Structure 1
Amino acid sequence: MLVEDMVDTYDNLTVKTLLMLKWTADHCSQVSYVVKVDDDVVLNVRALSRVLAGAAERGWPLVGRLLRRPAPFRSPSHKWYVPRWLYPEDALPEYLSGPSYAVAGSALRPLLRAALKTPLLPLEDVLTTGVAADAAGLARHHVPGLDVFPSLLWLTRPCLARASLSTGSLTAREIRAIWDTASRPPAGLCWLLDRLGIIDQGREW
């Protein structure tokens, strides 16, 4: 566990993420990838490792769920509010969704150098994988199955989460249910879907 000298607030998530990337660049720069994951995410580590091995062969610097220039939220009551004075453009840059994405070890220092020259935004994924990545000339690559939102069906069939590489916006109870179910051999409907190859990533748990 790493503890940095900073105020741990949601608006400082950008600072926390950059400090994490800096520590990795200083101590583990030889890694193929570092994966940033929120604490409400279930991660299929083995399946993601296999995907990232393929991404490394292709030389992909940034990997995740790509969001293509969405409009910023302008309502002050919204969790991800971005005032126009802070970001005047009508569309955000392309970026990778924040709950889980991967940064190649070779991209860490260029990304950090660019981020230090970028006005701070409270949206860490937008700043890190969007604005700073553009400034550093780092390409983003979309990977299906990363940062999937849970469906209502998962409340009764947690094994369906095995079809994803990572699943976010979960409660602690939902995380436990998915983990327990995904860690057991599939049965019933999940066995059929597994045999059909629909949730074959579940074999990687």
Structure 2
Amino acid sequence: MKLLLLQKKLEQENQQHHDLIQSDFQDSYRNLTIKTMTMLEWLSAYCVRASFAMKIDSDMFLHVPNLVKLLLDSNTKTLNYMTGLVWWHSPVLRGLFNKFYMPKTVFAEPEYPPYPLGMAYVMSLDLPRKILEVSSHIKPIFIEDVYLGMCLKRLGISPTDPPAKTMFLVDPVHPLSTCYLSKVIAMTTTSIPQMKSYWERSRQPDAKC
């Protein structure tokens, strides 16, 4: 009964705001790859006229003007493009009690192909369809950003480092200075009030170096 009531509330919210995508699987950490592929299916089906899409976690601060500035830059590719905080030569962790334990029977190589960290990444909208096509030939693993890297490798595509290391931050030292904040696109935060504070500061006229 509770599930039926929750489902009804979700449908009501979607009728009002049109901001929900729902699929039939358990929303858990081990199923993040399923969630990511569902997102790519939706992008491929409904966003064909868009140029870029961004996936970002709920604990991230997003500096939208800086993101738009990057995407409008003439040096930013519009095809086969994925950027974020790119992990290069990431070792495969074999410790049985590690959260990211990966047995050799699932992934035999000692390091993963390059991939943008799942906290926040941007892709050109030609990639969802291409990734979906090759994914049927690649055994899925539960680490969803690594799996995207595996698909990119199969496509012969490498993720792109952002123009500056300050754009994507996974473990920033808080609080950030106004100067540093003015260079950020996405970074992890520790609370909603902190995220709101950064958003308000970023909107001030003097929010620059």
**If the length of structure 2 is used for normalisation, what is the TM-score?**
0.80
- The structural deviation recorded for 1:24 is 0.8
Correspondence for 2:46 among 14, 19, 27: 27
Unaligned runs of 5+ in 2: 1-19
- The structural deviation recorded for 1:159 is 6.7
Segments of 4+ in structure 1 off by > 6 A?
A: none
- The structural deviation recorded for 1:184 is 2.7
CA contact (8 A) 1:32 1:56 kept: no
**Cα distance in 2 between the residues matched to 1:94 and 1:102:** 15
- The structural deviation recorded for 1:115 is 1.7
Q: CA RMSD in A?
A: 2.2
Stretch deviating more after TM superposition (142-151 or 6-15): 142-151
**Cα distance in 2 between the residues matched to 1:174 and 1:75:** 35
The structure-2 alpha-carbon separation of the partners of 1:169 and 1:156, relative to structure 1 and needing over 3 Å to count, comes to: closer
Unaligned runs of 5+ in 1: 198-205
- Whether 2:64 is the aligned partner of 1:45: answer yes
2:3 aligned residue: none
The structure-2 alpha-carbon separation of the partners of 1:60 and 1:41, relative to structure 1 and needing over 3 Å to count, comes to: same
**Cα distance in 1 between the residues matched to 2:101 and 2:142:** 9
Indicate the structure with greater helix content. 1
- The structural deviation recorded for 1:74 is 2.1
2:161 aligned residue: 142
- The structural deviation recorded for 1:151 is 3.0
CA contact (8 A) 2:79 2:126 kept: no
2:83 aligned residue: 63
Aligned to 1:91, the other structure's residue is in SS state: coil
The structure-2 alpha-carbon separation of the partners of 1:116 and 1:45, relative to structure 1 and needing over 3 Å to count, comes to: farther
CA contact (8 A) 2:51 2:78 kept: no
- The structural deviation recorded for 1:61 is 2.0
2:4 aligned residue: none
**If the length of structure 1 is used for normalisation, what is the TM-score?**
0.81
Stretch deviating more after TM superposition (59-68 or 28-37): 59-68
Aligned to 1:98, the other structure's residue is in SS state: strand
The structure-2 alpha-carbon separation of the partners of 1:28 and 1:170, relative to structure 1 and needing over 3 Å to count, comes to: same
Question: What is the identity percentage for the equivalent residue pairs of Structure 1 and Structure 2?
Answer: 21
2:172 aligned residue: 151
Task: Give the partner amino acid of 2:67.
Answer: L
User: For 1:3-18, what aligned pairs fall within 5 Å after superposition?
Assistant: 3-18=22-37
CA contact (8 A) 1:99 1:147 kept: no
Aligned to 2:96, the other structure's residue is in SS state: coil
**Cα distance in 2 between the residues matched to 1:23 and 1:52:** 21
Task: Give the partner amino acid of 2:183.
Answer: A
1:131 aligned residue: 150
